[in-house]
A and B are shown apart, each in its own frame.
Chain A
Amino acid sequence: MTFAQKVLSRASGENACTGDIVNAKVDLAMSHENSALVLRSFREIGARRIWDPRKVVLLFDHRIPANTIKTAEGHKEVRTFARTEQLPNFYDLGEGICHQVLPEKGHVVPEMLVVGTDSHTTTYGALGAFATGIGATEMAAVWATGEIWMRVPETMRIHLRGKLPPHVWSKDVILHIIGSLGSDGADYKCVEFVGDAVSRMSIASRMVMSNMSIEMGAKVGICYPDRKTQDWLAPRTDRRWVLDPSYQAAAADEELEMDVEELEPQVACPHTVDNVVPVTKVEGLKIDQAVLGSCTNGRLEDLAAAEGVLRGNKVSKDVRFIVVPASREVYIEAAEKGILTSLARSGAVILNPGCGPCLGGHQGLLAAGERCISTTNRNFRGRMGSPDAEVYLASPETVAVSALKGAIADPRRP
């Protein structure tokens, strides 16, 4: 059985074959600010109780602290609901981005079926979870019943071989894959990232791959759980699980190969994530803003990589450099290690953990004609402010060296 078949068979109690539609029991259900929309549907359905409050996690990350009165009202509604229902897993202002907080707090373990009202819920695939994004109304039905229909997806297995060259990161790998396959190249599929290049990656680097799987349409983007996963999870959760490699032997519907040894730093150009070129093709383009953070690249290794580039230097006077740690834990660790101080000395503005600039909800919106390079996961037109602004996506190191030079730059030649 493939990973997808195994998880969905267990969750549905049926023999889940590829293409079947099964009714699956959800292990974990996550929502952020859009809990307000979920709640509206939940009440309209006429449901009274959440099926299992222990399996629901709510938090705020997209617009925190509240940027408008409307946002504040939405927060208040959800906060009141969480208190009234005595939800044990409600995180208010300041914990950080859902896709960092849930793994950190030990909510996610391998082979769980996780649904979240955010498309980047695929991030938990880095820990070997079957995790996928759904809408608010569908989440209301999950809150009421604990169940959801799922089509058992085909498996696309991507073998990544070799050692990443210096200054090349998992962000460059996934941008290159998305550029090759196209933004619908893995539509509806369970993508499995395998091979020695993945084994060598940290959990944070694997999260980048799983996070961005949705940018090629994948339903799920997993890395097989291994000793590294086990070590990462051990201090965070009491949940038990065993390493089970059985699905690794199952035949995939598609097998792709990629050697990473020759890979160059990559950049996704406006206005689609699959518009990917090597950094050398866009080197020298002037930028107005640089953003380091998000559920893609706001983790400690990302901040440390950028700090390594900038240490002792000043960001270009023409660039606004915004840094957003992914969570409170990341923020504190980066502060204790002196990384945030060093970044601030270089001219960075450090924001509270959250999604702020990534979706143009608040903080750091772009004006017409401006250009931004960002470690986030989408460069869609209008995403970060004006529809007449441009967003380029790259690794933390590429973003940092670009901030330093005031133009898109190659991290191999700082």
Chain B
Amino acid sequence: MIRGRVWKYGDHINTDLIIPGRYLDNYDLKHLASHAMEDVDVHFASEVHPGDIIIAGRNFGCGSSREQAPLALKAAGVAAVVVGSAARIFYRNAINVGLPIVICPEAGRMFEPGDTAEIDLAGGTLRNTRTGEGARFSPPPAFLLRILEDGGLVPHLRNRMEAGPRQ
């Protein structure tokens, strides 16, 4: 179960807004985290707490293939993003860096900033603890859940290589 305080944003939050190109000469995670969401919300990077959850609208992560976008959010402490819909490259990148991502069109309507969200990723349920309102979503396919459980594609593949070739 993922449980955290909600930050709420609208539709079409693109990768340039999540982490602007002007900071991408440096891949240090602290540097990326310190500029996360800067052009959409100047307070985010300084006020986000580990375990917080981003709830946003349609087409989240549209734009660049820059993996630094989900990395910046994860490094800033974000535990999950819940969105109305996600751009495909961002969706893949989020899972590959081990940032849980949930597609749930009702979420935007259900939450106010500062609410607490509870997510059961494998069970496909989302709940607002303040209002008690819940919603269902399609959980990611099992093979993607395994990547998330391992903490991303790198640890996932390392585990598989250490386990040796499959029979």
What residues of chain A have their CB less than 8 Å away from a CB belonging to chain B?
A: 21, 34, 36-37, 40-41, 44-47, 63, 67-68, 70-71, 74, 116-119, 121, 133-138, 140-141, 144, 149, 183-184, 187-188, 217, 219, 272, 359-361, 365, 378, 380-383, 385, 387
B4 on the A face (CB < 8 A): no
Please, could you name 30 A-B residue pairs with CB atoms under 8 Å apart, sorted by A?
Answer: A34-B67, A37-B27, A40-B27, A46-B161, A46-B162, A47-B161, A117-B67, A118-B65, A119-B63, A133-B89, A134-B92, A135-B66, A136-B67, A137-B96, A137-B153, A138-B153, A184-B12, A184-B87, A187-B59, A187-B87, A187-B88, A188-B88, A217-B87, A217-B88, A272-B12, A359-B64, A381-B39, A381-B40, A382-B38, A387-B39
6 tightest A-B CB contacts, nearest first: A135-B67, A135-B93, A382-B39, A133-B65, A359-B21, A380-B16
Query: Of A117, A121, A137, A188, which is within 8 A of B154 by CB?
Result: A137
Q: Is the CB of B16 within 8 A of A382?
A: yes
Q: Is the CB of B92 within 8 A of A382?
A: no
Shortest A213–chain B CB gap in Å is 12
In chain B between 34 and 85, which residues have their CB closer than 8 angstroms to a CB of chain A? 38-40, 58-59, 62-68, 85
Q: Is the CB of A135 within 8 A of B89?
A: yes
Q: Is the CB of B25 within 8 A of A138?
A: no
Q: What is the CA–CA distance of A46 and B163 in the complex, to the nearest angstrom?
A: 13
Q: Is the CB of B85 within 8 A of A187?
A: yes
Q: Is the CB of B154 within 8 A of A41?
A: yes
Most-contacted residue by chain A among B14, B65, B161 (CB, 10 A): B65
Q: Is the CB of B67 within 8 A of A70?
A: no
**Interface membership of chain B positions 5-19, coded 1 if the CB is closer than 8 angstroms to chain A and 0 otherwise:** 000000010101100
Q: Is the CB of B92 within 8 A of A135?
A: yes
Shortest B20–chain A CB gap in Å is 5
Query: Of A47, A138, A140, A381, which is within 8 A of B93 by CB?
Result: A138
Q: Is the CB of A137 within 8 A of B93?
A: yes
Q: Is the CB of A385 within 8 A of B22?
A: yes
B26 on the A face (CB < 8 A): yes
What residues of chain B have their CB less than 8 Å away from a CB belonging to chain A?
A: 12, 14, 16-17, 20-22, 24-27, 38-40, 58-59, 62-68, 85, 87-89, 92-93, 96-97, 141, 143, 152-154, 157-158, 161-162
Q: Is the CB of B26 within 8 A of A70?
A: yes
Q: Is the CB of B154 within 8 A of A361?
A: no
Query: Of B38, B62, B93, which is within 8 A of A183 by CB?
Result: B62
Most-contacted residue by chain A among B58, B152, B153 (CB, 10 A): B153
Which B-chain residue is minimally distant from A218 (CB atoms)? Answer: B88
Given A184-B87, A219-B88, verify A361-B67 contact (CB < 8 Å). no
Which B-chain residue is minimally distant from A153 (CB atoms)? Answer: B88
Q: Is the CB of A71 within 8 A of B21?
A: no
Which B-chain residue is minimally distant from A137 (CB atoms)? Answer: B96
Q: Is the CB of B25 within 8 A of A135?
A: no
Residues of A within 8 A of B89 (CB): 119, 133-135
Q: Is the CB of B88 within 8 A of A383?
A: no
Q: What is the CA–CA distance of A184 and B38 in the complex, to the nearest angstrom?
A: 23
Q: What is the CA–CA distance of A41 and B96 in the complex, to the nearest angstrom?
A: 11
Shortest B143–chain A CB gap in Å is 8
Q: Is the CB of B59 within 8 A of A217?
A: yes
Residues of A within 8 A of B141 (CB): 21
Residues of B within 8 A of A116 (CB): 65
Which B-chain residue is minimally distant from A355 (CB atoms)? Answer: B21
Given A63-B25, A183-B59, A219-B88, verify A138-B158 contact (CB < 8 Å). no
Q: What is the CA–CA distance of A365 and B23 in the complex, to the nearest angstrom?
A: 13
- In the complex, besides A134-B92, A135-B66, A381-B17, 19 extra interface pairs with C-beta distance below 8 angstroms are A21-B141, A36-B27, A37-B67, A46-B157, A74-B25, A117-B67, A118-B65, A133-B89, A135-B67, A136-B67, A137-B93, A140-B153, A141-B157, A184-B12, A217-B87, A272-B12, A378-B63, A380-B14, A383-B16
